[in-house]
Amino acid sequence: MELIIIKSIIVGALVGGAAAAGAARMFHAPKVQSMGSFRTIGELNACKGDPISHFTFGLGFLFNATASTVACGGLSQEVHHRIIPNWAAGILLLKNKNVEETMHNPWKMLISGTFVGIVVVVFLNTVASIIPESLSTVASGVLGPAADWMLSPVMPLIFWLAAIDAGKSTGITATITGILAALFIGNAVPGLVLGILIGATIEEKGFNKAVFIMMILTAILLAFSGYFTLVLMA
Amino acid sequence: MEKKKSKMEELLLKNWSFPILLALLCAGVWGGTHMLYVHGSGMFNDLLAAQMFVSADSAGDFMTLGLFGLGYLIARMLEGPLVGVLDIGGSVATGVGLGLPSLCLAFGFTLPVENFAVALIFGGVIGYALGALIIVMKNSMKEGVTASGANIMMGAGNALGSYLGPLVILSACNYSIGAGIGALVGAVLFYKFDKPITGGAILGSMILGLIF
């Protein structure tokens, strides 16, 4: 238990500080390279610098995160996308309502994010470790098959249909790379992802250097994994 | 009104500080994956990803998962410099936190996942390298790849979430009658009150599955 708490403090501090500072940098993008996600920036703006809104928004997702952690040990992406940025911003906004001096400042966000990260991660991991064994047996018995089905066939189908809907050249490239990936890797998704990127680029910009580089990377990836599949099978 | 920026704020907005921030993030996320592997809880990713990781562990096949994560990582790495926002869900949580550790395990290289200190160092070094690569790409290859490919995948990725609820309900029905009925009740109630069906299904199946 002590070990879990110590490790949680370390990873919580690392992820919390970095995610919050990355979120602050988003307000300076695209001039400054940032990290986060579009939904994070939208939601941070939606709270309009009101600390109570930021806290309640984050709290709503803390319930999701707790359920996910108890069910199978995944803290959920809500932690770094929503809870940490919003609570880190909320703490800063309690003292100063000016978002440009608080939420947009990566240094201040780094400090408050570190604090929030430690608290949230320690809480989630300790909650998960005190739940009864039988509960997690049921959870994994139910969630295990659902996750397997998601990995195949649901996920390949969704990506494939999205590629086909996106136009002829995207559909064709994604189908080719997807099926090759299904043959060599055992799952079509990695191939579909790369095929969509290649096809969509061809559609809009024609054959350029980037398409060429991506095609070579895809070919190497497929050849590499195909080789390993053959070796492991033999 | 010209606002004055503090020294630390200016430093953290520089190009070269991006790889450092990404290194910290990746170190923490990789550490989280280590915690799931060793202690059974702590991965910085959704329920689905953590469950796939655990399933892959018990099945002993990490290859598919590793390459799945790698595909995400490559896609987000191409997109990140273009739009100025690196999606940390796809690149760091799924690519670095799920894909790369799975690849390490697939090739029998277990040390970076089993040892906490090595995990942090591994994640940090990889994060720094990725961050540096992104800054180089941002400065050199401004045009070339279109962002619309990333949008297609973003749409597909978001659609994935809505499939999980129904899948959980079907899986609960296969697991036991109690779990199935619990999932049914939970899903209906959550749907009625505009909450995510997945949450209700899981909660209901866990409560009734435990009793019956």
Quick one: B2 exposed, middle or buried, by C-beta within 10 A (0-12, 13-18, 19+)? Answer: exposed
Q: What is the DSSP letter of A207?
A: S
How high is the pLDDT of residue B158? 66
Does residue A136 sit within a domain? no
Residue B141 distance to chain A (closest CA, Å) = 9
Tell which wins on pLDDT, A185 or A106.
Answer: A106
Residues B30 and B129 in one domain: yes
Q: At what angle do helices A51-72 and B47-59 cross, to 10 degrees?
A: 20
Query: Chain B: residue nearest A123 by CA?
Result: B42
Looking up tokens 């988003």 gives A26
Residues A103 and A213 in one domain: no
Number of domains forming the structure of chain A: 2
pLDDT, tens digit, 9 for 90 and up, residues A135-174: 767 877 887 788 778 778 888 898 899 999 999 999 999 9
Residue B170 distance to chain A (closest CA, Å) = 8
Q: Among A50-59, B61-70, B90-99, B156-165, whose mean pLDDT is lowest?
A: B156-165
Does residue B1 sit within a domain? no
Give B43's contacts in chain A (Cβ within 8 Å): 73-75
Selected residues 171-210 of chain B with any CB under 8 Å from a CB in chain A: 171-172, 174-175, 179, 183, 196, 199, 202-203, 205-206, 209-210
pLDDT at residue B3 greater than cutoff 70: no
Does residue B156 sit within a domain? no
Domain of residue A32, residue span: 2-129
For testing the chain A interface, which of B41, B146, B184 should be mutated: the one with the most A CBs within 10 Å? B41
Residues B108 and B200 in one domain: no
Residues B85 and B129 in one domain: yes
How high is the pLDDT of residue A121? 95
Residues B31 and B95 in one domain: yes
Does residue A208 sit within a domain? yes
Residue A124 distance to chain B (closest CA, Å) = 8
Residues A181 and A116 in one domain: no
Residues B78 and B23 in one domain: yes
Residue B191 distance to chain A (closest CA, Å) = 16
Does residue B131 sit within a domain? yes
pLDDT at residue A119 greater than cutoff 90: yes
Nearest CB to A155 within list B29, B34, B160: B160
Number of domains forming the structure of chain B: 2
Does residue B154 sit within a domain? no
Give A88's contacts in chain B (Cβ within 8 Å): none
Q: Among A96-100, B27-31, B154-158, B168-172, whose mean pLDDT is lowest?
A: B154-158
pLDDT at residue A229 greater than cutoff 80: no
Confidence of residue B90 (pLDDT cuts 50, 70, 90): confident
Cβ B149–A198 below 8 Å, yes or no?
A: yes
Nearest CB to B42 within list A64, A75, A228: A75
Q: What is the mean pLDDT of chain B?
A: 85
Residues A65 and A113 in one domain: yes
Residues B79 and B176 in one domain: no
Cβ B89–A68 below 8 Å, yes or no?
A: no
How high is the pLDDT of residue A160? 93
Give B75's contacts in chain A (Cβ within 8 Å): 193-194, 197
Residues B140 and B187 in one domain: no
pLDDT at residue A126 greater than cutoff 50: yes
* Type of residue numbered B196: P
Selected residues 8-47 of chain B with any CB under 8 Å from a CB in chain A: 8-9, 11-13, 15, 18, 21-22, 24-25, 27-29, 31-32, 34-36, 39-47
Residues A63 and A95 in one domain: yes
How high is the pLDDT of residue B170? 94
Confidence of residue B138 (pLDDT cuts 50, 70, 90): confident
Domain of residue B25, residue span: 7-145
Residues B39 and B97 in one domain: yes
Does residue B61 sit within a domain? yes
Residues A113 and A64 in one domain: yes
Cβ B88–A35 below 8 Å, yes or no?
A: yes
Tell which wins on pLDDT, A39 or A89.
Answer: A89
Does residue B24 sit within a domain? yes
Mean pLDDT, residues B202-212 taken together: 83
Does residue A194 sit within a domain? yes
Mean pLDDT, residues A164-191 taken together: 88
How high is the pLDDT of residue B145? 61
Cβ A144–B167 below 8 Å, yes or no?
A: no
Tell which phi-psi region holds residue A99, choosing left (phi > 0), alpha (psi between -120 and 50) or beta: alpha
**What percent of chain B lies above the pLDDT cut of 90?**
40
* Type of residue numbered B121: I
Tell which wins on pLDDT, B63 or B23.
Answer: B23
Q: Among A23-27, A101-105, B87-91, B154-158, whose mean pLDDT is lowest?
A: B154-158
Cβ A72–B35 below 8 Å, yes or no?
A: no
Mean pLDDT, residues B168-186 taken together: 92
Nearest CB to B149 within list A10, A107, A196: A196
- Residue of A218, A25, A26 whose CA lies nearest to B74: A218
Q: Is the CB of residue A41 less than 8 Å from the CB of residue B85?
A: yes
How high is the pLDDT of residue B34? 95
- Cα–Cα distance measured from residue A128 to residue A133, given in angstroms and rounded to the nearest whole number: 10
Residues A120 and A155 in one domain: no
Q: What is the mean pLDDT of chain A?
A: 85
> Bridge-partner residues for B86, per DSSP?
A35
Record the pTM. Answer: 0.77
Residues A105 and A155 in one domain: no
How high is the pLDDT of residue B1? 36
- Cα–Cα distance measured from residue A208 to residue B64, given in angstroms and rounded to the nearest whole number: 30
- Residue of A153, A152, A195 whose CA lies nearest to A177: A195
> In this complex, is the C-beta atom of B153 within 8 Å of any C-beta atom belonging to chain A?
yes
Cβ B156–A159 below 8 Å, yes or no?
A: yes
Residues A87 and A26 in one domain: yes
**What percent of chain B lies above the pLDDT cut of 70?**
92
pLDDT at residue B141 greater than cutoff 70: no
Tell which phi-psi region holds residue A43, choosing left (phi > 0), alpha (psi between -120 and 50) or beta: alpha
Confidence of residue B2 (pLDDT cuts 50, 70, 90): very low
Does residue B150 sit within a domain? no
Residues A40 and A116 in one domain: yes
Residues B14 and B85 in one domain: yes
Residues B100 and B187 in one domain: no
pLDDT at residue B154 greater than cutoff 70: no
Query: Chain A: residue nearest B50 by CA?
Result: A74
Does residue B152 sit within a domain? no
Residues A67 and A160 in one domain: no
- Residue of A149, A174, A181 whose CA lies nearest to A160: A174
Query: Chain A: residue nearest B14 by CA?
Result: A32
Residues B85 and B190 in one domain: no
Residues A107 and A222 in one domain: no
Does residue A134 sit within a domain? no
How high is the pLDDT of residue B200? 82
pLDDT at residue B114 greater than cutoff 60: yes
Confidence of residue B75 (pLDDT cuts 50, 70, 90): confident
Would the ipTM clear 0.90, i.e. be above it?
A: no
Cβ B27–A14 below 8 Å, yes or no?
A: yes
Q: Among A197-211, A220-234, B17-31, whose mean pLDDT is lowest?
A: A220-234
Residues A157 and A74 in one domain: no
Confidence of residue B4 (pLDDT cuts 50, 70, 90): low
Confidence of residue B129 (pLDDT cuts 50, 70, 90): very high
Mean pLDDT, residues A89-112 taken together: 90
Residues B133 and B46 in one domain: yes
